[in-house]
Every structure is written in structure tokens, then in C-alpha cells.
Amino acid sequence: MNLTAVADAARPILAPSRRWTGAIGAALALRLTARARRLSNSRWWGRHTLRIQRETLRRLIGHAAGTEFGRRHSFGTLAGRPDEQLIAAYRAAVPIADYEAFRPLMQRMRESAEKNVTWPGLVLDWAETSGTTGGEKFIPVSRQMMKSNYRAALDIFAHAARFGASISNLTSGRLLFLGGSTDVTVSRAGIRTGDLSGLVTPLIRWPLSEVYSPGPDIARMTHWPSKIDAMARLTLEQDIRMVSGMASWALVLFQRVVEIAREQRPWVNSLRDVWPNLELFVHGGVKYAPFDPRVREIWSGHPSEDIPRRLEVYPASEGFIAVQDTPGDPALRLHTDIGNFYEFVPLEEIDRPDARAFTTAGVERGQRYVVVMTTCAGLWRYIIGDVVEFDTIPPDGPPRLRIVGRHRHFINAFGENLIVEDIERAVIAARDATGLRTGEFTAAPVYPAANQRAGLQLAIEFDTPPPPAAIEHFRDAFDRSLRATNVDYGVKRTGDLGMAPPKISPVPMGAFHRWMESKGKLGGQHKAPRCANHREIIDGLLATAGEC
């Protein structure tokens, strides 16, 4: 494939028309003004969030009352319940469920094109998603969900404006989106299946198409190394003002842009020399902190200089869940008024049939909860799988949460009770203590065997192979952080009796992406798992890295 030709074909217009970009920016800024003002009123959201969520649930139940699922669970009766009874009655009628419970219904809706199963009419769009080791899931994306996602996207710009970004300035250049492939399959019944970004991209029409990049040709590409290269060559000559995408893949793109630019312009030192007007980086999907130093370095060449503004989002195929609303604060504000209803189940109760569930009015700080969603696309009390903690709860302000892991991604082989956040925090602490440049990583238990004690293993990318002394320093800092933040791990490590010191396994940069490609999981919608309570992931990764 001639990647230069692909990029050239996708570059009919290097800069959008000033006339249209000015009109786009003015119209968007006008539309966002009232919303940004409303979002700034934290006290109002603290008082009214429960009411908004209850009204959302009532609308969803009423809308789906005539579906097969609605009739089976008496939605017609539930919709008429008084406010004080509605949520409790809904919980009594509908059990919490994961995807396997919904799979037969989803198959009927998608494969047989059945109408009125869990959502009124025929759901035409389906987002294909999967875990790194799990099977495919097909998530319904109704017209109402498209509108919900659109409203969430507008809120990104509203919060960016609150952060000080100029909407007119952003739309005077290009907005670059690193989504998955936009190549969508269509069944005989007209059912469309693909990455969520593929389903949404066709909605980007004129005049927004004037400022959108990389355009349909590159967006459709499925081979990610080629896609990144083509995107880098295209945007090398574009005036990129905003980038949106997963931090891990954005970093790969940034590095490739600088590499190609240096071939043509030896004076290029950083990404800022190529995209001097880049103002906003919207990222989500993975924890940003592990990538922060490398993004700063590629952007400016200095660890103290960051992209002018960053804004984190919490998207999912099931719905757009939360967005950062305070600069520098890692807590993300729950989207409570865009058509989805949320419940939160204590992590330790998620597998119990009598598990308690709380609205945003009942959650507590410091408690870990599994996110459960009722969506405007026909998922009812559906377990998302993410584990969150709340930093702000009503009535103190709008609910703000942090993602701390996945309820199936943990390590507890020897009573150590480690979750994703523990591993991520310890890697960051070890990186900062040693000054080593790190990339992707994953952790798993080490099971006792002949000449091998029970313990923990971390496979982690380093840009250059560290000497043994540096690995030992990294290991000790990693271990200290885990001991300091996780009591159970600290107990098991006391005196090296229960668990041996952790084992650090260095792998070269790019090893995770090569392993993910071998699993067919390479691309903007996929992310490397941070930990697992088994060795399937880490053993596969190390085997692939050994072949490099």
C-alpha cells in the first residue's frame, strides 16, 4: 500500500474555508453559551440530579412499555408509580444482568431484525465490542442513543469553553479524531454493525465535515499501523487544533508525525513545531497518568510543558458516561441529563442476587461501585463492568467519579486484593522514582512451583533496556507503593513470608500492540488490560515479545 498516495488522496483541502469555519465557530459558540453557563452551576446540579435521573427513568420505562421486555416487566404499570416509589419498584421488577443475560435478546434484534424486543421499533445500528479475551458483544445504538452521544459531544466543547478554549479558534483549523475503523457491514435487513466511531462518523456532514480530519478514506482503514502512518502524513500539512482519541494511540500518532516531519524538516524538535495551533487534547479509555511524561516530551521537548488544554472523557459503547469538568481534577462528571439512568452496586456485592444498588443520591465517598446502566437503546439494569469511586456526591455538587478498575480485572490469587488502580498508581510511583521511560504494562500472579514462590509479575514496556540495578530500583519502588496503598498486599508481603518481591519483566516498546494485533484486537477501540487474576494475558504477551 502506498501510504503517501492514500494521504494525498485524502488531502483535497489542506485548510478549511475561512468563511465556513468562522460561521461554524460562531454558531457552535452561540449554542454552547447557555449550556456552559448551566453546567457551571454546581449547586443547582447538586440539588436536582436525583430528580433529573428519576424523570429519565420514567421516560425510558414509558417509552419501552409496549416492547416485549417492557410487557414482561410491567413497564406500563411502573411508569405510573409515584416518584417516591418508582426506582424501588423498577429494581423489584428488573434484575441486574450482564451481557450474557441479554445476548439471546440482542441476537434476535440484530440477526433476525426483530422489532420491539427491548426497545421500540427496529434498532438499525450495533456497536461491536469485545474484551481482550472475551467474545464479541453487539451493543444496540438506537436513534435516541445517537442523540444522547451527540449531546455528550456538545458538552465536551462546552466544558472546553469553560476551561478557556476558544471554540472559534478550534474550528478555524482541523479537529482530528482517532476512532476505530468506520468500515461498517450492512445486513440484508439493513442492520449496520461496526465500531461505534464507524456508526457515528457518517453523521459528520457539512459544514462540520469542513473541519473534520482524517476524512472518510483513512477513517475506513482497518490496519492500524498503516492507518497511523497515513494519518500522520495527511495531518503533517494540516492545521490541527484539536485531537480526540485514546492516549496510547494518540502518542503513537504524535511520534509518527514528528518522525515524518523530521525527514523533511530537520529543524523540527517536537510536535508543537508541526501543529503550533494545537489547543485541546480530548482523551479517554485508559488512565492518562502513565502516558503523561511521554506526551509532554513529544509535544514540547520539556517535561514541564503540556498541550495547552486536556480534557478527559469516559465513553462506552453502551453510552457516554462522564466528562472532566474541572481542569486538573481527575474526577469525571456523570452525564445525568442525556437520556441514560445510572445505578451503582458495591463491588463486593455485584455477584449476589440480593445486591444493593444506589442512585447518585445514595452513594458514598471511598466506596467502590460497579456501574449499572439503563440506556435509551434497550439495555435495562445492565452491568457495564467498570469500578468507580466518587469524589463529589449530591448535594455538594454534580456527581463526580473516578474509574479505578474493572470488576473482572483484579488480582487475588493469594488474598492480596489488588485492582487496576493499585497497579497503575504503583507503576507511576516507580516510574517517577527511577526516571525510566515506560509504556504499556500488565500484571498477573506468579503461582508457587518448584524453586518459585508465590508473588506478582509486572510486564512493562521500556524505551531502552534498563540495567539490572535500575530494574531492582523500579521493583522496590513498585513494591513500596503497593504496600502503602493496599493493606492486604502489605500483609502478604510482610517479611517476604506470604509473597515474594514482585518480578519485573521488561519488554520493548510496541510489544503490547504486537500482541494485541496477534489477537485481532489492534485499534483505537481496544486497550491493553492492566491486570488479570490469571496468566493467559501476561504469558501470551511475553511469548510474543520474545519473538520480536
Domain positions in the chain are: 1-335, 410-547
Strand partners of residue 375? none
pLDDT for position 184? 84
Q: Any idea which residue has 481527575 for its cell?
A: 330
Q: How many helices (H) and strands (E) does the chain have?
A: 20, 20
List, for the chain, all residue ranges whose pLDDT scores fall below the cut of 70. 1-22, 130-135, 182, 202-207, 522-526, 547-548
Grouping H, G, I as helix, E, B as strand and the rest as coil, residue 350 is coil
Copy the grid coordinates of residue 50: 436525583
Is CATH 3.30.420.40 the classification given to domain 410-547? no
Cα four-point dihedral sign 273, 180, 328, 155: positive
Instruction: State in words which class domain 1-335 has.
Output: alpha beta
Give me the count of residues in the chain: 548
pLDDT of residue 527: 73
Per-residue pLDDT at 13: 42
Per the confidence metrics, is the pTM higher than 0.85?
no
Look at residue 22 in the predicted model and tell me its pLDDT: 64
Q: Are 172 and 241 in contact (CB under 8 A)?
A: yes
| Calpha distance 199→416 (Å, rounded) | 42
pLDDT of residue 242: 96
| Residues 514 and 548 sit within 8 Å (Cβ to Cβ) | yes
Is there a shared CATH topology between the 1-335 domain and the 410-547 domain? no
Distance CA 169, CA 24 (A): 11
Give the three cell numbers for residue 444: 498477573
Q: What are phi and psi of 213, to 5 degrees?
A: -140, 145
Rounded Cα distance, 94 and 378, in Å: 13
